[in-house]
Amino acid sequence: MIKHALYPRAFSKVIRKIGDILKSGRIFFVGGHVRPDGDCIGSLLAFYFLLKNMGKQARLYTAGPIPEYFRLFPGADKIETSFDKNYPSDVCIFVDCGSRDRVIEGERPPGIFVNIDHHKSNDEFADVNYVDPEATAVGEQIYHIITAMRETVTPDIASSIYLSLLSDTGGFRFSNTDNVTFSVAAEMVKHGADPARIAEMVFENRTPESITIKGKALSDLHYECEGRLVWSEILQDTYKQFGEENEPESLVGELRGVSGVEISILFHEIQEGGMRAGLRSRGALDVSEIAFQMGGGGHANASGCYVKGNYAALRDRLVSFAVEYLEKNKREAR
């Protein structure tokens, strides 16, 4: 994919507006989604360092759990996983969240809401919404905000934004990788991000437990539609034994890598009863349509859903939606 301009002109008004809010606000709450990924963590941290440089008060929050390997990232110790109802924020920024319940169920921190996201399914829940499904990652959107404000990109900000880009593109491999991704990444390296060090943190820092869980999932793959669909699952027994925080990173993406596979799904049995599923697809196949049928959403090639209820029944329902979708959409010409 090629975008012709580095700066997304269609969003210049909202980008300026967010700049004004950042300048006038004093006490900031920055929230990310549950089970944060690298884009979420990188975006939280980029805001933390930016706001600190601007002399503002800022607290970061995500419902967690935060994978162990992000703990090594500079600033990661600032991310809180319990929500402080008494924090008197005047601005709440939500990053990488397609809907508000991805952050805090029930609770509402005070202040004006700003929503910065690139999920196609975003429901524009905030007072100010900067939602660009064409953005590589939220880190890229934050880069546009910072440059429009003419604020300095410190090495900490650069590393955080680079983490966002690297992580959401799966190491500059996915279809959201374009010329802007590389331009912004190059800028971040110029400002002090260390590509090898960050890649090592993100991709070469697995716990032995997560490898064991992955081995179990890989040893029991289920194929449907003549191999066009593959799915696997991780049950509560396994999570109880090896720890939920050791959920194997990007496994569903690896399953998509099986030749002949067009859609991959990884199911997780959840503690409260029910399922969480990650879906990945190749090319023009849009798994967000399948996730949407189960109340979820996301990107065309990467989506997910979370549904309470009977695990096996929900899993089978989602598999049948995926089979139906594949039967409607003929094999991708490759």
Residues that bind Mn ion (CB under 5 A): 39, 96, 137, 168
By C-beta, is 116 or 213 nearer to Mn ion?
116
By C-beta, is 39 or 132 nearer to Mn ion?
39
By C-beta, is 121 or 212 nearer to Mn ion?
121
Least distance between Mn ion and beta carbon 299 (Å): 8
Contact 322, 252 (CB under 8 A): no
By C-beta, is 123 or 209 nearer to Mn ion?
123
Least distance between Mn ion and beta carbon 140 (Å): 9
Q: Cβ contacts of residue 183 below 8 Å, gap of 6+?
A: 6
By C-beta, is 14 or 138 nearer to Mn ion?
138
By C-beta, is 116 or 157 nearer to Mn ion?
116
Tokens 């880009």 -> residue: 165
Tokens 């660009």 -> residue: 132
Structure tokens at 205: 């820092």
Least distance between Mn ion and beta carbon 321 (Å): 24
Closest CA to 122 of 92, 96, 91: 96
Listed in sequence order, the DSSP H helices in the chain are: 12-24, 38-53, 138-149, 155-168, 179-190, 195-203, 208-218, 236-242, 251-256, 287-293, 311-328
Least distance between Mn ion and beta carbon 138 (Å): 5
Name the residue whose CB lies closest to Mn ion.
39
Least distance between Mn ion and beta carbon 238 (Å): 27
Tokens 């008004």 -> residue: 13
Tell me the three state secondary structure of residue 296.
Answer: coil
Handedness of CA 233, 239, 244, 250 (dihedral sign): negative
Least distance between Mn ion and beta carbon 252 (Å): 15
